[in-house]
Every structure is written in structure tokens, then in C-alpha cells.
Amino acid sequence: MKHGKKYNDSAKLIETGKFYDVEEAVAVAVKTGTAKFDETVEVHVRLGVDSRHADQQVRGAVVLPNGTGKTVRTLVLAKADKADAAKEAGADFVGAEELVAKIQNENWLDFDVVIATPDMMGVVGRLGKVLGPRGLMPTPKAGTVTPDVAKAVTEAKAGKIEYRLDKTNIIHCPIGKVSFGPEKLQENFDTLMAAIVKAKPAATKGQYIKSCVIATTMGPGIKLNVAKFGA
């Protein structure tokens, strides 16, 4: 695969075959973020689990202390006083059956997070085929099915992210923007990794964290020394 000059220049900053400590890896990642836009810094963690088994699923949500640097558009499906609470908390879109119908009939997807009250899940279930593949389906585990919609909206706006295994047993998550600088990015990284380690399934055998890579949107991957995570 051919890469552009900027990518190749960034790749020269990374020692081939080296496994970096977190502090150094984050600092190098910031240096590789040379695009004309503020690149996102992403973490890719491969786990020693099998996502095909229910007792080895790893999924949850965590609020990053410094946010993600992204403006999050929230859709809340709720009624009556819960809908009012969502509006007061700053939700971008609030409604019930009419918004479910809009998503179904118009393929409307101008939002980043969907939050629903438990009593709405019978209706929201109809959206599984639309929201599920996009990772937008609300779930209790991620804190997006909750009676406290105001808190969920506040957390989403503050930088709450969901982590979950893909089919290859890898978790992909943003931890902020290059402009955050190394210190804030490391704080976000440490918070995310602590949550993933804490979520280790009891059924896991052998090494839990197999590999971890940090990379900017357009840059090369930087391998981390996973022995430091003790999992």
C-alpha cells in the first residue's frame, strides 16, 4: 500500500519494532498529527477474549476527563417530564414515536448518541436494524437506556464514549484531538484503559490485553508495551 509524503515523514518518527510506554507514545502521536485539520487520536486494543461467547463480551462506557473534542449531538426518546428534563439538559433532539418514525421512514441519522427511557424501548426496538450496525442502539450497559435522561445527556456532552469489541476482538476508541497535547491525551487514555481492564470477563483465560496501538486519523500506528497494564 502506497502512502503519501506526510505519512512517510510521520512514520520516520516511530522506531520500527519498538514497543513504547504510554507517555512516549502519546507524545509521538501528537508529533505525527500533521494534517491541515485537528486529527483525532485513536486507541486500538486487541483483547484475549472470544466475542462469539456471551460470557466474554467486553462493553461499557466511560466519561473521558478531557472530553473527545467533538461536538456530540444527542437524541433523547422520552415522554412527558422525562422529555422536559432532557430538553433542560441540552439534548439536541427530543421526542417519542414521531422521531422513531422519522428514522424509519426518512433514514434520518443526524445525531451521534441515542438515549431512551426504559418505557420507550418497546418502540425503540423497531430501530434495531438501523441503529444496531451503526453502534447507535441504546443499551443499559452503556448507560443510554435510563430513567435519568438528563444525566445521560450531560455525560454524553462531556465526552462519554462507549467501548465495545468488534468481531475481531478489538476495541476502537477516540481519546481526543491532537490539539489536546500529550498530557490531556494521556489522562483520557489512562481513564479508558482502566475501564477496559476493570471490565475483564471472569471467563478470560491467559493474557487479557494482547496488543495496543495509538494512531492519529491520518498517521501510522504506535505500538505500546502492554506488559505495563498488568492484565
140 shares a domain with 172: no
Q: Does the pLDDT at position 90 exceed 90? A: yes
pLDDT in tens, 179-224: 999 999 999 999 999 999 999 999 888 899 999 999 998 888 999 9
Domain boundary among 157, 186, 218: 157
Instruction: Return the C-alpha cell found at 152.
Output: 445521560
pLDDT at residue 20, rounded to an integer: 93
Domain boundary among 108, 130, 157: 157
Count up the domains in the chain and report the number. 2
pLDDT in tens, 34-48: 888 999 999 999 999
78 shares a domain with 48: no
CATH number of the structural domain spanning residue 31 = 3.30.190.20
Nearest alpha carbon to residue 223 among 209, 211, 208, 210: 211
DSSP string, 132-161: GGGT----TTTT-B-S-HHHHHHHHHHTEE
Alpha carbon distance 212, 8 (integer Å):
21
Q: Does the pLDDT at position 137 exceed 80? A: yes
Give the residue numbers spanning the domain of 91.
Answer: 74-157
